[in-house]
Amino acid sequence: MLFPHDWTAWDREDGAAVDAAAVAQLESGGILLFPQLAFEVRAAERDFFVPSMAIAKNVSFDPASGRVGGARATGDEAVALGSWLRRFSDSAAALVDAALPDYRGRLERGRASFRPAEIAGRQTSWRHDDTRLHVDSFPATPVQGRRILRVFTNVNPEGRPRTWRVGEAFDRVALRFHGRFRLPFPLTAAVLRAVRITKTRRSPYDTLMLQLHDLMKADGAYQASAVQTEVSFSAGSTWVAFTDAVSHAATSGQYQLEQTFLLPVEAMLQPEASPLRILERLTRRPLV
Ligand code: SIN
Ligand code: FE
């Protein structure tokens, strides 16, 4: 499931060829791994590396507005934190642009995040517990069927890895849980939008993906028995995956950067491999 690429730069200004197989690897549920692609942290930026930098779990960065959210930094430190996250966000965008030329012009850049908390032993509700296998879906920002592509880089200054468990393929997960789906009433989406729980209308697809996320995490027997493989991402490595389809659990690690991109299903080489099309086949109805 890991597809290593020996890149050492975030852009391809060195003119090296891109790997034509990368898109197919990603779309079939693989993780593109860049073991030698580290994100540079300058000396002054080391000050951000305290768990208390995040008010809750993550610090967020919106590249469109430049706004930093959820951070304790103020004044000059807040400005420097924003510059650091901007540099990372731009690097992640350069990476996907170079590595995935088939998606050029179709990827929409979303938020970035800095995750300074140790994952192992963190106390959360089951729904927020990312140490349980799940696929990603966003409660507040519906994607309307679009794919969630994420770039992660482990910036742990002590050289500690980030460990995940990776579960079974999306079509198997969907097959296992779709009998427990509750298709939403159309009115619910309008109400959620009207009271601004969601920022845009939540599509039936978004509702089912949230249900899948919850059904997976809530099912202790599934968590224990699902086929899963431990994966260790070393400090100084970077990886890319469609986390709406790759079943994953983050089990340990501290200090990570992440950038989210959204991709329309029609921009995929194999749209039929998308969670949207898989769920539409299972439920026999259009979901966006
Ligand atoms: C997740 O998306 O479940 C968390 C991934 C991570 O923070 O490593
Ligand atoms: Fe996740």
CA–CA dist 202, 142 (Å, integer): 5
Pocket of ligand 1 (CB under 6 A): 115, 130, 136, 162, 243, 248, 250, 256
* Whether pLDDT at 13 is above 80: no
Residue range 257-284: average pLDDT? Answer: 97
pLDDT value at 272 more than 60? yes
Ligand 1 pocket check: which of 31, 58, 115 to mutate, most ligand atoms within 8 Å of Cβ? 115
Q: Atom 4 (ligand 1): residue with closest C-alpha?
A: 250
**pLDDT confidence tier of residue 17, bands split at 50, 70 and 90:** low
pLDDT at 221 over 60: yes
75 alpha carbon – ligand 2 mean position (Å)? 31
Q: How far is the CA of 29 from the centre of ligand 2 (A)?
A: 14
Looking at residue 196, its pLDDT comes to 84
Residue pLDDT, tens place only, 43-87: 999 999 999 999 999 999 999 999 999 999 999 999 999 999 999
Looking from the CA of residue 134, the nearest atom of ligand 1 is 3
pTM: 0.96
Identify the pLDDT of residue 20: 78
